[in-house]
Chain A
Amino acid sequence: MPKIRTFLMIISFSLIWSFSLVSEADQNQFFDLLAQAKQMDWTGRKLVVSWTEDHCAAFELMVVHGSADKYYQRSIYPERPRSRRNQSNANEERKKRESGRRVRSFRPTRLSAASMGRYESLIRNNYVLERVEADVTICGREAQIWSITPHESDRNKQFKVWLDSATGILLQSEQKNGQNRQLSVLTQLQFNQQLVNDRLAELKRNQQKSGGSRRGRLVSKSIAQQSFKQKLSLPDDLLSGFQIEEIELMERPVTLSSSIPTVHLRYTDGLEMVSVFQSLSSAGRDRSRGNRRGDRPRGQRKSKTIKQNIAEVEVTIMERVDVRVYQWNDNDIDFTLIGGLAQSEMDRMVKSLILNR
C-alpha cells in the first residue's frame, strides 16, 4: 500500500510539474509574441463597443502602432446631444474645427501590447494565460486567442485577446465583468510605411502643440508629501497583486487664483487599474455654500449612492456601470477611490487605506 501511495504521489507531482511547465511555456509564447508587435510599423482603425443589458456605447479610433496612439476618436453610438445654437452656422463651425485635429492621448492603455509588455511580471503573477485552440481570421490575419483569468477568485473580470500569429499585433480584445462587456476590434490594418511615418509625425507634432494629455506631473512619494504639507496615505500596495504604478500631482482649480492640490495614485495588477485621489478637505467650503443646487454635482443625480461604515469611518459609495466610487474624509483629507473591482475587494482597499493613516 505505501508503494502505491508513493507511486500516486509521484504521478500527481509529475502532472503538476508538467502542467506548470506547459503554463510557463504558454506565458513565454504569449509575451514573445507581444514583443514582436513592438517591432512592427502599422496603422489602422479600431472599433470599441461597451455594453450592458440597458446601456451601449461605441467609439471608433484611428490608431498607429497600438491602441494608445489615438489619431482621432468619434462616437458612433449614442449620438452626442445637439444644440440649437450651432445649427445655424453648422458648416462654418465644422470647417473651423476640422482644421484643429489634435492628439490628446499618446500612451499605452491597459489592454494593449505595449502595456501588457510593460507589466509582464505583474500579469504573470496575477493572471493565468491560456491559449484557446481555435482558428480565427481578423482583418485578413490569422489570430491566436488567449484567455486571461485572474488568480484571485474575488476578481471576476475575464479578458480575452486575439493576437496576430505572425506579428503579435493585438487584433481584438474582450473584457467581461458580470454584465459589463467591452469589445475592441481592429477593422482596418495597414503596413504602409509611408502612411505610418506621416501619421506618427503628425501625432508627435500635434502632441507637442497641445502639450500632451497629462493633467498633472508625475512625482515621487517624498515630493508628493512635501507638496501636500499633510500626511498622505501612500501604501506601496493596496491588495495582493496591486502595486503602485504612478503618483500624479494635480491642481484642482477652485477660484481663479487658488486651487486644491490633489494627489492621484494609480495602482495596477497588470490589467486592472485603481485610482486613489487625496486632497485637502473642502468640507468647510461646502458648508458655507449651503444647500444650493450645486451641492449635488451634475451627473450624480441618478447614481446609486449608499453610506457604509468601514473601519469606523463613514464612506459614501456610488455605483456606476463599470466602476465603483468610494469617498470619505479622514483627518481633513478627502479620499476618493475609483475602481472596477468587486465590492468586497474595494471595501478591503478602503480599509487598508484608512488603517494605513
Chain B
Amino acid sequence: MDTHQEIQQQLSAYFDGELEASAALVVKKHLLKCDECQQMIADFEAQQVLMYGLKQENPIDTWNQIRDQIEIQEGKLPFWKRWAVPLPVAALATIMVFGLMVFYPISERSSVSPINDYLSAHAQYSTDYSIDSSFLNENFSAIELDNTDSSGDTDWLLDTYHGYE
C-alpha cells in the first residue's frame, strides 16, 4: 500500500498522464479520500491555466534555424539551400560581373579600330548598295540564300566591295 507521501510524489506525473494505468488507479482512489492531494491537483490545474495564458509560439526564424541545423546533420537540406552562397561571396561575384560589363569592350573591333564601322558609314551615303550587317541579318540573307551565316557579314562585304590591293 502506497503511503500518502509516495502518492504525493506521483501526483505531478498523474496530472501529466504519465503514470501507468495501475499506478494511476491507485492515485485516483487516494484522491477520493485525501483533501490535501485534491488541493495539490487543483493547484496544478490552476498553474496550467496560468501557463496557457502566458503561452507564446516559438519565433519562426528560431525554429527554422533549429530545423536547418537538424536537417544539415541529417543531410536533408533542400537543394536550393545547399547551393546558397554566403553574402560576401555573392557581393564579390556581383561586383566582378558589373565590372566586366562596364569595362570589358563589347568587341575587339570596336575598341581597337573603328575602321570597318567608318567604311560602312561612308558607303551608306556613297554607294548604291548597303553595307551593314544588321541590314543583312534581316534582309539580305533572307532573300539571297537559304543556308547562310549572317555573322561577319560586314567584314565579308567590306572585303568584297572595298576589297584590298
Chain A contact residues, CB within 8 Å of chain B: 46, 48, 50, 52, 55, 57, 59, 61, 67, 70, 72-75, 78-83, 85-87, 90-91, 93-94, 97-98, 100-105, 107, 109-111, 184, 210, 213, 215, 248, 250, 252-258, 262, 264, 266, 273, 275, 277, 279, 282, 285-286, 289, 292-300, 302-304, 318-323, 325, 327, 336, 338, 340
Contact = CB atoms under 8 A, between A and B. Distances in A.
B148 A275 contact: no
Interface in B105-138: 105-106, 108-119, 121-122, 124-130, 132, 134-135, 138
B79 interface: no
B165 to A, nearest CB: 5
Contacts of A98: 142-143
Contacts of A327: 115
Interface string B133-161: 01100111111111111011101101111
A75 B142 contact: no
A336 B128 contact: no
25 contacts: A46-B128, A57-B161, A61-B128, A82-B147, A83-B151, A94-B146, A100-B138, A100-B142, A101-B138, A101-B139, A101-B142, A104-B139, A105-B135, A110-B125, A210-B138, A213-B132, A252-B117, A255-B105, A264-B121, A275-B118, A282-B112, A297-B115, A321-B163, A321-B164, A338-B118
Of A75, A82, A110, most buried by chain B (CB within 10 Å of CB) is A75
A79 B124 contact: no
B162 interface: yes
Contacts of B109: 294, 297-298
B142 A97 contact: yes
Given A87-B147, A255-B102, A273-B122, A262 B139 contact: no
A55 B164 CA distance: 9
Nearest to A48: B128
A105 B138 CA distance: 13
A104 B132 contact: yes
B118 to A, nearest CB: 5
B104 interface: yes
A48 B130 CA distance: 12
A74 B155 CA distance: 16
B109 to A, nearest CB: 5
Contacts of B141: 80, 97
Q: Report which residue of B102, B128, B148 has the largest number of chain A beta carbons within 10 angstroms of its beta carbon.
A: B128
Given A72-B139, A250-B121, A273-B126, 8 more contacts: A57-B160, A72-B143, A97-B142, A110-B125, A252-B110, A252-B114, A294-B112, A320-B165
Interface residues of B, number: 55
Contacts of A286: 111-112
A100 B137 CA distance: 10
Contacts of B60: none
Nearest to A302: B164
Contacts of B113: 296-297, 300
B101 interface: yes
A91 B112 contact: no
A215 B141 CA distance: 21
Nearest to A295: B112
B150 to A, nearest CB: 9
